[in-house]
Amino acid sequence: MASRASGPRVLIYCHDTFGLGHLRRCRTIAHALVERFKDLSVMILSGSPIIGSFDFRARVDFVRIPGVVKLRNGEYTSLSLHIDIEETLAMRASIIRHTAEIFDPDIFIVDKEPLGLRGEVKETLEMLKGRGTRLVLGLRDVLDEPAHLAPEWKRKGVMPALRDLYDEIWVYGLPQIWDPLRDISLPWSARKKMTFTGYLRRSLPEGGSSPRPHVAIDEPFLLVTPGGGGDGETLIDWVIRAYEGRSTPPWRALLVFGPFMAPETIAEFLRRVEGNKRLIATTFDAHIETMMARAAGVVAMGGYNTFCEILSLDKRALIVPRTVPRMEQFIRAERAAELGLITMLADDGKHDPQRMATALRHLPQQKLPSEVVIPGLLDGLENVNRLAYIGFSRRTSPRLAVAQKA
């Protein structure tokens, strides 16, 4: 192994096939780390087709691996290349391993999938384990209902990796809201590796501003966001129909469709929005947190990042969670609603516009998340930084990496 410049390094494998959730979470962690440690460099491995649309802080960079997308039948296919999926996966695994060999991280954080997509990070994990790199599995608060997660992980052969390869498991949430591995038969040797960090606090850029949003609304408004938008048609349609009725909600609504919503669907929604003075729409904004900060309330599907932003920016929120292909959003929203952090509107399949309008009218009377006291709720980034500092010092290779705090 060639000599390298001093300063600790973190490599993050960002599990993504379609959507924004994993990328935005990994980017948030990377930015928090370089802000805290002045000599740290972070590299993100991602297959997201729009990773280049986001800005990154100094000392954070990314390697774009070939993208894949999951089909409705559960199989995967190449996102852009007209080649066999096995060839795509082989290229991804090779890029991941060679990047790790050269970058030589002190800490390797694997997002969500313990072995990566179709096991593509297993060889990299084994190689880095031999080098003394600290191996961390990073999990969001909810993965899926245990009845589905347990057989999935058994089929993928995850348990040996948790037992023998990983040094730590970081859960970006709190056990009083949800334990993502509840009812999973984990050996004690793996269970004791778990640390619940709290949720990852989001903030506006320094100075309280970011690039000027291209949508201007001077009056109070609702921000309606389905995240990436690939499966957000139902939410957008339901909200639009509520505003098309006679009993409209109290605030105007700003609809942000997301970059993965089908163009023909967006065109139809824009046609309906143009005829309604209470609605305004845009396709995508990489600085959605700035829009949310200005909003009087939020309507969303309730993915992990949106939930963190709602808590961090202290916004009244109505969550309409999806239930397929995973129950993740529903579980999170149901538990958060029980604690009084948000209000949940379950999708009953009927999508009665009056039901949505009523829920939106109740938003102004809803509690703010800050009125619910849950110790450590938003301590996630602070605890990730603390755990990383410990990890730098514990690397077992001859070269000990010692991070310097900014």
- In order of start, what are the domains of the chain with their CATH numbers? 9-201+378-394 (3.40.50.2000), 221-371 (3.40.50.2000)
Strand arrangement, sheet containing 343-344: 279-282, 252-256, 221-225, 297-300, 317-319, 343-344
**In sequence order, what are the beta bridge partners of 405?**
37
Q: Is 125's pLDDT higher than 50? A: yes
Q: Find the helix packing angle between 304-312 and 328-338, rounded to 10°.
A: 30
Spatial contact of 147 and 327, defined as CB atoms under 8 Å apart: no
Sequence-separated (6 or more) residues with CB below 8 Å from residue 386: none
The token pair at 198 is 């709290």
Determine which helix (DSSP H) or strand (DSSP E) holds 253, and give its type and residue range. Answer: strand 252-256
| CA-closest candidate to residue 335, choices 350, 348, 319 | 319
Q: Is residue 131 pLDDT above 50, yes or no?
A: yes
The stretch 11-19 carries a mean pLDDT of 79
Q: How far apart are CA 163 and CA 389, in angstroms?
A: 23
Structure confidence at residue 369 (pLDDT)? 98
Statement: residue 211 has pLDDT above 50: no
pLDDT reported for residue 391: 94
Q: Indicate if the pLDDT at residue 31 is higher than 80.
A: yes
Q: Tell me: pLDDT of 350 over 80.
A: yes
**Bridge partners, residue 68, by sequence:** 78
Beta carbons of 236 and 347 less than 8 angstroms apart: no
Confirm if 323 and 214 have CB atoms less than 8 A apart: no
Please state, as a whole number, how many other Cβ atoms lie within 10 Å of the Cβ of residue 45.
28
pLDDT digits (tens, 9 = 90+) for 148-158: 899 999 999 99
Is pLDDT at 210 greater than 90 in this prediction? no
Q: Is 96 helix (H, G, I), strand (E, B) or coil?
A: helix
264-307 pLDDT, tens digit each: 999 999 999 998 999 999 988 777 888 999 999 999 999 999 99
